[in-house]
Structure 1
Amino acid sequence: MTRTTDAVLLCLAVFWLSGCASKALAPHPEYGTPQSLLAMLRQNPDVQVQQQEGWTLAIDETHQRIWLFTPPTHAAHPAALKRELVEQEGVLVVRTGVLCGAPQPVCDELLQETERVDEILRGMLPGAE
Structure 2
Amino acid sequence: MHRLVRAAGLAVSFGSAGAVLAQGVEYPSVAAALTALKAKPGVTVSANDGWTIITDGNVNWSFTPANHYAHPAVGRRELKGDQGRFFVETRILCQAQKAACDRLRDDYALLDRRMNEAIQRDLQKK
The alignment's TM-score, normalised by the length of structure 2, stands at: 0.69
More strand by percentage: 2
Letter in 1 for 2:102: D
Q: Give 1:106 shift.
A: 1.2
For 1:1-129, what aligned pairs fall within 5 Å after superposition?
A: 22-25=9-12, 26-28=22-24, 30-61=26-57, 64-118=58-112
Number of the residue aligned with 1:13 = none
Q: How large is the Cα RMSD of the aligned pairs?
A: 2.6
Q: Give 1:30 shift.
A: 3.8
The alpha-carbon distance between structure 1 residues 23 and 117, as it changes in their structure 2 partners (threshold 3 A), is closer
State the Cα deviation string for residues 56-85 of structure 1 (Å, max 9, x = none): 000012xx1000000000011000001001
Structure 1 unaligned blocks of 5 or more: 1-20
Check whether the contact 2:30–2:94 (CA below 8 A) recurs between aligned residues: yes
Check whether the contact 2:25–2:76 (CA below 8 A) recurs between aligned residues: no
The alignment's TM-score, normalised by the length of structure 1, stands at: 0.68
Distance 1:119 1:91 in 2: 14
The alpha-carbon distance between structure 1 residues 22 and 73, as it changes in their structure 2 partners (threshold 3 A), is same
The alpha-carbon distance between structure 1 residues 33 and 67, as it changes in their structure 2 partners (threshold 3 A), is same
The alpha-carbon distance between structure 1 residues 107 and 35, as it changes in their structure 2 partners (threshold 3 A), is same
Q: How many residues align?
A: 104
**Secondary structure in structure 2 of the residue aligned to 1:31:** coil
Check whether the contact 1:24–1:111 (CA below 8 A) recurs between aligned residues: no
Percent identity of the aligned residues? Answer: 35
Check whether the contact 1:69–1:80 (CA below 8 A) recurs between aligned residues: yes
Letter in 2 for 1:94: V
Distance 2:74 2:102 in 1: 13
Structure 2 unaligned blocks of 5 or more: 1-7, 13-21
More helix by percentage: 1
